[in-house]
Amino acid sequence: MKILFSIILNASILFVIWYMLNTDTNPTAVVVLPDGINAWKTYLLGGVILGFLNIFVKPVLKLIGLPLFFIYPIISLIINAIILWLLSQTINNFLNTITYMRFEINGVFNFIIAVAIFTILNIVYSLLFNKK
């Protein structure tokens, strides 16, 4: 049950990134295909991939960046940027040929904002639901 909840929460984080960045003035900041009613499949698949990346890749990146955490606290933003970039590359390059799905963040400024949103929502998620 906890895994299913985590997948749904990760999918909702991806939806919030899409919703907050796509505006009337910039409708293609985040491209999610298929769009419309079938976009939920991309969000759920992204939630599964994001869960795997958070379980397997993020601890390795944190271990590598451990000496820098004390000097530069911004390293957590860089780790989240790497995770978000890996998610986008996994969906766009490997799964696009099988599932015809895309999750693409266009532009450096949009990517920086997406990483900030992703980091804030991950902090809220960990504070609320990772009580030990």
Distance between CA 24 and CA 42 in Å, rounded? 22
pLDDT tens digit string along 25-37? 788 888 888 777 7
Supply the mean pLDDT for the chain.
89
**Reported confidence tier of residue 132, pLDDT bands at 50, 70, 90:** low
Cβ neighbors of 114 (< 8 A, separation 6 or more) are 17, 21, 30, 84, 105
pLDDT at 5 over 80: yes
pLDDT at 102 over 70: yes
User: Pick from 59, 57, 52, 50: which is nearest to 12 by CA?
Assistant: 50
